[in-house]
Chains A and B, each alone.
Chain A
């Protein structure tokens, strides 16, 4: 079955880098995603990576994928207070279905 795990909480100082980790079990995933959810709001797609890629960089965001270990990470450079939110990784299990991780609450303090 599919299962996506994340650590629950991460606290970083403003200006530092944040690294949010995710492990998944379905090796047939084609795309892996990172979403951001602010309090009381829906999900915002931050970035995604195709399963045949190792790394993708998009401005302050860097996604690393280790397919062998089924490990995905999101690095946010120069973390700001506006980055405080819950971050979900998700894998595309089939053409349509997304399986979401448990979510990591990022708190940025001054």
Chain B
């Protein structure tokens, strides 16, 4: 149980284009999803917290107009990198928090999406 998927797993896009990454909780409902960014050989940095039906909360230093987050349902959150630049190339990982029950504060992570901007 508690499986989170991401799509795509790997994407290459040209500078100036936008790319959308999906995060789905497959077998549970998630009122809250989180988006992280991981640079090579580094730790995960929280970018934003996404709550179903409301606006995302962004961490300091993360441009909300560049990284658009939509959490339209209890099982799906999307991250759109707009006008991508090479410095946006990174590994993006989402996680989902169980909506209710004994493990309500546990986060389950997706497999990650590697974005390369050329």
> Range of interface residues on chain B?
20 to 34
Which DSSP category, helix, strand, loop or mixed, fits chain B's interface? strand
Q: Tell me the chain A residues, 67-108 only, with Cβ under 8 Å from chain B.
A: 88, 92, 95-103
Verify if A43 is at the interface (C-beta below 8 Å from B): yes
Mask, B92-118, CB within 8 Å of A = 1, is 010101000000011111111010000
Q: What residues on A are CB-neighbors of B44 within 8 Å?
A: 43, 88, 100
Which DSSP category, helix, strand, loop or mixed, fits chain A's interface? strand
Total A-B pairs, Cβ < 8 A? 46
Establish whether residues A96 and B49, one from each chain, have CB atoms under 8 Å apart when the complex forms: yes
Q: Tell me the chain B residues, 37-56 only, with Cβ under 8 Å from chain A.
A: 41-44, 46, 49
Q: How far is the CA of A31 from the CA of B41 in the complex (A)?
A: 25
Establish whether residues B108 and A45, one from each chain, have CB atoms under 8 Å apart when the complex forms: yes
B104 → A minimal CB distance (Å) = 10
> Range of interface residues on chain A?
20 to 34
The closest CB in chain B to the CB of A97 belongs to: B46
The closest CB in chain A to the CB of B36 belongs to: A100
Which of A41, A43, A45, A102 has the largest number of chain B CB atoms within 10 A?
A: A43
Write the residues of chain A forming the contact surface with B, with a CB cutoff of 8 angstroms.
31, 35, 40-45, 48, 88, 92, 95-103
